[in-house]
Amino acid sequence: EADIYQTPRYLVIGTGKKITLECSQTMGHDKMYWYQQDPGMELHLIHYSYGVNSTEKGDLSSESTVSRIRTEHFPLTLESARPSHTSQYLCASSGDPGQGKETQYFGPGTRLLVL
């Protein structure tokens, strides 16, 4: 079972608020990812990281930002939440593909509702 955690699991917040979605993994994985997914719909990569101090933008443009100060922690921040940010946010991590550890392990997700 994957050891990747996301908090909060559910968040209802008003427009204009700043929010931070937390993601932590205890597997020592260098690579971490954030996906945005509407229920039952496709996964959109919005941010990823190769390791500490590395952050990259994904395929889907997002107003969110990320940081990677510690290997195990990859938080996502929205400075000013809007109703269009309402979605499910999934965090994932993976090991070194050179060692056959390219499997991405996903957290349970954070469901965000912006009113």
Query: Least distance in Å: CB of 35 to another protein?
Result: 9
3-state helix, strand and coil shares in percent for the chain, rounded to the nearest 5: 5, 45, 50
Pairing relationship of beta strands 65-66 and 87-94 according to DSSP bridges: unpaired
96 is an interface residue for another protein by CB under 8 A: yes
34 is an interface residue for another protein by CB under 8 A: no
Rule CB under 8 A: choose which of 50, 60, 79, 115 binds another protein. Answer: 50
Closest CA to 89 of 70, 74, 72, 67: 74
90 is an interface residue for another protein by CB under 8 A: yes
Rule CB under 8 A: choose which of 18, 26, 28, 41 binds another protein. Answer: 41
102 is an interface residue for another protein by CB under 8 A: yes
Query: Least distance in Å: CB of 54 to another protein?
Result: 10
The token pair that represents 21 in the structure block = 């979605």
Evaluate whether 85 touches 70 at the Cβ level (below 8 Å): no
Please state whether the peptide bond connecting residue 8 to the residue before it is cis, i.e. omega within 30 degrees of 0: yes
Question: Of the two residues 81 and 92, which places its CB atom closer to another protein in the complex?
Answer: 92
State CA 95 to chain mean position distance. Answer: 16
Binding site for another protein (CB under 8 A): 2, 33, 39-43, 45, 48, 50, 58, 90, 92, 96-98, 102-109
